[in-house]
């Protein structure tokens, strides 16, 4: 099971956190501090896995962003590495060549997407198409809702997409 | 300054930025993005919290504004601050009819609240309503929240709806309902145990996503109870077969592999079902072998599947053909340049050696390379492997290595772990007591307080008991060497408390035993310890008791006792101590010293720590007193567990505990309290707790302590409580015993092993390495260097026959050198090396681009051309000719914009190629980016748009982070 997902920038800034097991705010901060220290310091040629308090953290760097997932001892590291990639590919498809800035300003959208890929710490959907379709359906509904609310923001949102 | 002005102007132009949020929010994100220090960020966030608090307290906030506040709050929480003041607003938002708001509300509450939060109860009603909604998106949003927020108490409230949703026409809903049920099962198995048949039913769902989702709960269920799912073996095998034969929709393909995530899950399940079950396993052989063949090792996901196959093969009933396939994959992993694959290879090797131990020997050099790798993760994995293959012939080398590593790290968590591993191995396989004591000393010295106290007791026990009854000289030798080593160590600063206790005890018991050291010398040292660690009461207690022992031995040997002045002052100080324990000891010491020789000898006999002392468990000496009291009219004693009227404490505690565990409301009447079945519990507990009393005191304490290990009591049932104390001696006491206890593949068998292995290795190396041979002759110096490695290898893997070992290991070395040879070899090969280096995982290149973009000012395309030519020539050495077109593809790629976003689908590339192209293109891109940051490589138009939009909002890529605009996927 995936314990949590973190997105950390190269400067150690947090871009997204999702906790599938209960952690208090204090613990979360501690985890973030510890892990960003460990992961950001690792050299490029080392393997993408880190032992951490009896768990394993699988991370992968995309441009300036580190995607990290913390998993149980018995999980398959390579598979999780691909889950990360799966997530990134879907983000890429959604945002159209995604970059860190997209995730900074649309972090809630990244959350929505993550919620369609992982649920309760497990991979819920491995088909990119299915995820994309579902997100699009939600968005279109959101769009119509927005249309009623304000037509201006709708236009802007459309331009944003 | 100029720039700032333009930013300001642009910001003033419109409150609505390009990303659909208000200016305020964009400002927040921007200022946090530009914060130079953590403290500055903190300040900004705190300010934002203040603003939000103020805004939220305003009356009649428009809904759209509220939504934004909530999202800002999510942001604040994400940065690690407390936003609990606004949780209630998020909860309220879930009640909204507008899906947009509802979705935001659900997102926020599922990020904010844990499942035991008080506000959950306010959401349950909304969730119930939403689960019944006719809009499947509403249902989906609710189900997402259900997975996070529902706890065992609220499960019953939503369970019926979730079960109904299993038959929902939309597959997305069915899938989420399955996952929600799975979550319920994890949180409170009892509440959904009657529903597990639903998982079986959904396994036949015609949507692969739903089918895939059911594999998670089924995996959990099968882990708990294998036998009731044996009937599903056939179904799982046939599903896996269909998946492998690409019968699933193409959308489930991932990097050209058919539904690999589902394959992995199925393989995990099969591994459980086939474990120790020959019949089930036999039905799996075909399909697993198929997958071995079909999964490509060129892509990462292919390797993930292959690894899972190995796990499966090592778990099910062994099959020679599959084992061979697994071994091939492992050797491919280990030979790979990728650290990830090496890591997986080491892990897989650890799994497979349980079944076929000989496989490890083929990879000895690879394993040693991993052990010496700078990568900590890989190193630790390798230690894990070594731990699994430790036997009495190699324990010294392995434990030495482990201790060296243990000393070098700071991570307490892992230090504890590896220390316990060292102790375990040393206890199991120690070749001699001497070695054991030395090893333990090292472990204590460096991991000290992280080591379990039991280990210290074991060590003391070992020194006290020695080799056994028959060899007294060896025993005393052992003791004097222990004393000597401790006297050496004792002067070092900052020793861990547990270790000091051992030292004090041993010095007290045996310090003067061989007559080498005088009593005053030893007591002086002990006083020093007590003084140096004056904060540590247990060390002081150990020290003072040790001093008492030394004096007692002196007195009983009729020698004159001279009490050192520092000793005198220590005793005086302790007799006024706040600790009653220390006081008592000090007074006892004073009392003992004043006694005459025969009295002292009887209360403090020499070297009697191993004597059995009989204790009267029935306290029969009190019988007279009890009788007297009864005659005077006292109530007879009724054992605790027979007192039916009063609920006895332990029982009550148990019930309480149980209650806390299930944590649900109870509707039935409480059971009548029953008498406890095991009446033996209290005495056993006493035995074990006294055993843990840290101070081995004079006779009276011993009276209680010793019997715990005496056979009479252990028969009485406290065996499991005292664990290793007996086992140690048995496992490696006398030499005869140890040889019979050690694993079978020892001295005699290992010789034959090695020879056969040597032969097979020569074969395999001969074929794979014909090319490298030409070069490694010139590499003699390197061969010399690895002599040490070779020695290490033979001590790790081999037995006694070193001469026979040699040819095979030199060959190995050859293979290793061969693979690295190109690094320093002649001109034509140099290019090959270069390309190989470039084939490394993405991060390198990106890093390169980051840090040394100026160094890359040479035209990157020129370099690539160079690469291209050489790979053409030497591509067969590398990865096979098939790869060359990719480089062409790269050119095509960089020129056609917008292609990269739909990469995975449009290009019929496998994972490896994908990586290659993206890497190289990103390299070129960074090189270009060095000139202007706006230029974004494969997708310049998009990037430009994004960039201008962002600039308009006033966000500019700051110098420390020019990568904000870089495509994540490259």
B661 lies in some domain: yes
Query: Are both B825 and B892 inside the same structural domain?
Result: yes
CB within 8 Å: B968 and A88: yes
Q: In terms of CA atoms, which chain A residue is nearest residue B937?
A: A97
Query: Are both B542 and B600 inside the same structural domain?
Result: yes
B348 lies in some domain: no
**Do B48 and B76 touch, CB atoms closer than 8 A?**
yes
**Residues B168/B170/B175/B181 CA torsion (nearest 10 deg):** -20
In A, residues 80-139, which contact B (CB 8 Å cutoff)?
Answer: 81-83, 85-86, 88-89, 91-93, 96-102, 104-108, 111-112, 115, 119-120, 122-130, 134, 137-138
State the nearest Cα–Cα gap between B85 and chain A, in angstroms.
Answer: 14
Query: Are both B637 and B578 inside the same structural domain?
Result: no
Domain boundary pick from B684, B711, B738: B711
Q: Which residues of A touch B63 (CB under 8 A)?
A: 149
As a whole number of angstroms, the distance between CA B173 and CA B213 comes to 11
Per-residue pLDDT of B681-727, as tens digits, reads 444 444 444 444 444 444 444 444 444 444 444 344 444 444 444 44
In B, residues 314-353, which contact A (CB 8 Å cutoff)?
Answer: 338-340, 342-344
Query: Are both B584 and B667 inside the same structural domain?
Result: no
Number of CB pairs < 8 Å for A and B? 261
Query: Are both B677 and B584 inside the same structural domain?
Result: no
pLDDT of residue B64: 84
Domain boundary pick from B578, B606, B634: B606
Query: Are both B853 and B910 inside the same structural domain?
Result: yes
Domain boundary pick from B711, B732, B755: B711
CB within 8 Å: A81 and B963: no
Per-residue pLDDT of B544-564, as tens digits, reads 888 888 888 888 887 777 778
Domain that holds residue B637: 620-646+657-711
CB within 8 Å: A82 and B254: yes
Query: Are both B585 and B629 inside the same structural domain?
Result: no
State the nearest Cα–Cα gap between A69 and chain B, in angstroms.
Answer: 16
B684 lies in some domain: yes
CB within 8 Å: A108 and B965: no
Quick one: average pLDDT of B39-55? 90
Per-residue pLDDT of B499-527, as tens digits, reads 888 888 888 888 887 777 888 888 888 88
**Do B350 and B385 touch, CB atoms closer than 8 A?**
yes
As a whole number of angstroms, the distance between CA A57 and CA B53 comes to 36
**Which of A105, A132, A146 to probe the B interface (max B CBs under 10 A)?**
A105
Query: Are both B845 and B924 inside the same structural domain?
Result: yes
Closest CA to B181 of B504, B197, B522: B197
**Which of A42, A103, A127, A132 to probe the B interface (max B CBs under 10 A)?**
A127
Query: Are both B670 and B570 inside the same structural domain?
Result: no
Query: Are both B857 and B898 inside the same structural domain?
Result: yes
pLDDT of residue B435: 85
As a whole number of angstroms, the distance between CA B38 and CA B876 comes to 52
Environment class of B757 (CB within 10 Å of its CB; exposed 0-12, middle 13-18, buried 19+): buried
As a whole number of angstroms, the distance between CA B634 and CA B646 comes to 20
Number of domain units in chain B: 3
What domains are there in chain A, each with its CATH number? 2-160 (3.30.450.60)
Quick one: average pLDDT of B754-774? 42
**Do B882 and B298 touch, CB atoms closer than 8 A?**
no
Q: Which of A29, A128, A152 is the closest to B80 by Cβ? A: A29
Q: Which of A50, A62, A86 is the closest to B968 by Cβ? A: A62
Per-residue pLDDT of B765-817, as tens digits, reads 444 444 444 444 444 444 455 677 777 777 776 644 333 333 433 344 444 44
B694 lies in some domain: yes
CB within 8 Å: B19 and A160: yes
Six-digit token string for B957: 């890529």
Enter the pTM of the model.
0.67
pLDDT of residue B520: 83
Higher pLDDT pick, B870 / B848: B870
In B, residues 34-63, which contact A (CB 8 Å cutoff)?
Answer: 63
Query: Are both B915 and B854 inside the same structural domain?
Result: yes
Query: Are both B839 and B927 inside the same structural domain?
Result: yes
B284 lies in some domain: no
φ and ψ at residue A14, rounded to 5 degrees: -85, 130
Average pLDDT, chain B: 72
**Do B939 and B966 touch, CB atoms closer than 8 A?**
no
Decide if B900 touches A, using CB distance below 8 A. yes
State the nearest Cα–Cα gap between B291 and chain A, in angstroms.
Answer: 16
Share of chain B above pLDDT 90, in %: 18
pLDDT of residue A52: 87
Considering A52-66, B28-42, B760-774, B808-822, the range whose residues carry the highest mean pLDDT is: A52-66
Q: Which of A16, A45, A82 is the closest to B844 by Cβ? A: A45
Per-residue pLDDT of B277-335, as tens digits, reads 899 999 999 999 999 998 888 889 999 999 999 999 999 999 999 999 999 999 999 99
B523 lies in some domain: yes
Six-digit token string for B855: 């160094």
CB within 8 Å: A93 and B841: no
pLDDT of residue B532: 85
pLDDT of residue B916: 36
CB within 8 Å: A134 and B140: yes
φ and ψ at residue A23, rounded to 5 degrees: -135, 135
Per-residue pLDDT of B67-100, as tens digits, reads 889 999 999 998 888 888 989 999 999 998 888 8
Per-residue pLDDT of B419-468, as tens digits, reads 888 888 888 887 877 788 888 888 888 887 777 778 788 788 878 777 55
As a whole number of angstroms, the distance between CA B280 and CA B287 comes to 12
Q: In terms of CA atoms, which chain A residue is nearest residue B83?
A: A25
**Which of B377, B411, B842, B899 to probe the A interface (max A CBs under 10 A)?**
B377
């Amino acid at each position: 099971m995936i314990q949590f997902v973190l997105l950390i920038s190269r400067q150690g800034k947090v871009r997204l956190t999702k906790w599938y097991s209960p952690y208090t705010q204090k613990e979360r901060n501690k985890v973030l501090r510890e892990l960003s220290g460990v992961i950001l310091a690792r050299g490029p040629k080392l393997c993408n896995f880190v032992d951490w308090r009896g768990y394993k953290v699988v991370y992968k760097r995309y441009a300036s962003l580190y995607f990290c997932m913390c998993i149980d001892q018995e999980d398959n590291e390579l598979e999780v590495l691909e889950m990360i990639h799966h997530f990134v590919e879907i983000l890429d498809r959604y945002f159209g060549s995604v970059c860190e800035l997209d995730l900074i300003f649309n972090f809630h959208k990244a959350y929505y997407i993550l919620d369609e890929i992982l649920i309760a710490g497990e991979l819920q959907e491995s088909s990119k198409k299915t995820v994309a379709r579902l997100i699009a359906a939600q968005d279109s509904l959101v769009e119509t809702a927005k249309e009623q609310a304000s037509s201006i923001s709708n236009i802007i949102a459309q331009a944003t997409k | 300054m100029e720039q700032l002005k333009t930013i300001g102007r642009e910001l003033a132009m419109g409150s609505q930025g390009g990303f659909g949020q208000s200016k305020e929010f964009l400002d927040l994100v921007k200022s946090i993005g530009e914060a130079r220090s953590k403290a500055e960020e903190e300040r900004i966030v705190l300010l934002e919290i203040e603003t939000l608090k103020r805004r939220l307290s305003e009356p009649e906030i428009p809904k759209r504004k509220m939504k934004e506040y909530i999202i800002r709050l999510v942001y604040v929480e994400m940065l690690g601050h407390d936003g609990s003041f606004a949780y209630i607003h998020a909860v309220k938002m879930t009640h909204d009819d507008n899906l947009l708001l509802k979705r935001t509300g659900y997102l926020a509450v599922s990020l904010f609240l844990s499942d035991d939060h008080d506000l959950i109860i306010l959401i349950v009603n909304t969730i119930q309503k939403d689960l019944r909604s006719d809009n499947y998106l509403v249902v989906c949003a609710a189900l997402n929240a259900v997975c996070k927020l529902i706890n065992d108490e609220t499960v019953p409230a939503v369970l019926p709806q979730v079960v109904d949703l299993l038959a929902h026409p939309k597959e997305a809903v069915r899938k989420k309902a399955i996952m929600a049920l799975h979550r319920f099962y994890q949180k409170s198995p009892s509440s959904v145990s009657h529903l597990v048949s639903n998982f079986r039913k959904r396994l036949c769902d015609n949507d692969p996503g739903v089918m895939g989702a059911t594999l998670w709960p089924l995996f959990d269920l099968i882990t708990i109870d294998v036998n009731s799912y044996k009937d599903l073996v056939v179904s799982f095998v046939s599903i896996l077969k269909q998946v492998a034969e690409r019968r699933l929709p193409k959308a489930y393909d991932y990097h050209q592999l058919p539904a690999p995530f589902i394959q992995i899950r199925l393989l995990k399940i099969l591994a459980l079902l086939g474990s120790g079950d020959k019949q089930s396993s036999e039905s799996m052989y075909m399909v697993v072998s198929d997958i071995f063949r079909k999964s490509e090792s060129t892509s990462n996901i292919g390797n993930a599947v292959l690894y899972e196959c190995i796990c499966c093969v090592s778990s099910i009933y062994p099959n020679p053909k599959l084992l061979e396939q697994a071994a091939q994959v492992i050797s491919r992993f280990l030979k790979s340049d990728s650290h990830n694959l090496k890591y997986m290879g080491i892990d897989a090797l650890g799994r497979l050696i349980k079944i076929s131990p000989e496989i490890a020997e083929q990879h000895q050099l690879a394993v040693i390379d991993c052990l010496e790798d700078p990568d900590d993760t890989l190193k630790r994995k390798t230690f894990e492997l070594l731990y699994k293959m430790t036997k009495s012939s190699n324990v010294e080398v392995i434990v030495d290595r482990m201790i060296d590593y243990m000393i070098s790290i700071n991570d307490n968590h892992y230090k504890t772990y590896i220390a316990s591993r060292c102790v375990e191995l040393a206890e199991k396989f120690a070749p001699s007591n001497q070695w054991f004591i030395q090893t333990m000393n090292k472990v204590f010295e460096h991991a000290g307080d992280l080591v379990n106290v039991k280990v210290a007791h074991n060590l003391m026990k070992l020194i006290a008991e020695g080799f056994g009854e028959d060899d007294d000289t060896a025993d005393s030798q052992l003791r004097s060497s222990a004393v000597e080593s401790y006297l050496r160590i004792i002067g070092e600063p900052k020793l861990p408390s547990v270790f000091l206790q051992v030292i004090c005890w041993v010095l007290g018991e045996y310090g003067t035993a061989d007559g080498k050291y005088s009593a005053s010398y030893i007591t002086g040292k002990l006083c020093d310890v007590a003084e140096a660690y004056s904060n540590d009461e247990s060390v002081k207690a150990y020290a003072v008791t040790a001093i008492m022992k030394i004096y007692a031995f002196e007195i009983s040997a009729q020698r004159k006792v001279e009490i050192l002045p520092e000793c005198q002052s220590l005793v005086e100080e302790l007799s006024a101590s706040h600790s009653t324990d220390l006081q008592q000891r000090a007074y006892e010491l004073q009392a003992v010293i004043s006694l005459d020789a025969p009295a002292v000898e009887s209360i403090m006999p020499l070297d009697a720590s191993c004597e059995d002392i009989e204790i009267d468990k029935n306290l029969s000496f009190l019988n007279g007193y009890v009788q007297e009291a009864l005659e005077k009219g006292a109530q007879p004693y009724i054992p605790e567990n027979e007192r039916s009227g009063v609920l006895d404490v332990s029982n009550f505690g148990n019930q309480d505990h149980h209650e806390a565990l299930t944590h649900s409301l109870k509707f039935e009447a409480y059971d009548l309290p029953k008498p406890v079945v095991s009446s033996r519990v209290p005495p056993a507990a006493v035995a074990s707790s006294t055993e843990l009393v840290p101070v081995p005191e004079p006779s009276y304490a011993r009276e209680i302590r010793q019997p715990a290990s005496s056979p009479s009591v252990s028969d009485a049932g406290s065996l499991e409580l005292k664990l290793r104390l007996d086992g140690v001696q048995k496992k490696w006491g006398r030499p005869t015993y140890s040889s019979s206890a050690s694993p079978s593949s020892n001295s005699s068998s290992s010789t034959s092993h090695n020879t056969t292995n040597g032969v097979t290795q020569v074969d395999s190396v001969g074929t794979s390495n014909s090319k490298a041979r030409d070069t490694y002759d010139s590499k003699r110096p390197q061969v010399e260097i690895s002599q040490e490695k070779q020695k290490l290898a033979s001590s790790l893997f081999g037995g006694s026959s070193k001469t026979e070992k040699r040819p095979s290991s030199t060959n190995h070395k050859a293979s290793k050198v061969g693979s690295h040879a190109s690094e320093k070899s002649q001109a034509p090969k140099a290019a090959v090396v270069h390309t190989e280096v470039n084939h490394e995982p993405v991060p390198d290149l990106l890093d390169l681009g980051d840090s040394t973009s100026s160094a890359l000012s040479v035209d990157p395309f020129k370099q690539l051309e160079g690469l291209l030519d050489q790979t053409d020539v030497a591509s067969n050495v590398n990865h096979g000719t098939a790869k060359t077109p990719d480089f062409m593809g790269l050119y095509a790629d960089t020129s056609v914009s917008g292609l990269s976003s739909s990469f995975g689908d449009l290009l019929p590339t496998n994972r490896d190629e994908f990586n290659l192209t993206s890497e190289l293109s990103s390299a070129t891109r960074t090189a270009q980016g060095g000139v202007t940051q706006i230029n974004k490589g494969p997708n310049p138009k998009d990037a430009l748009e994004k960039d201008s939009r962002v600039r308009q909002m006033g966000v500019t890529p700051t110098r420390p982070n020019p990568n904000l605009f870089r495509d994540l996927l490259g």
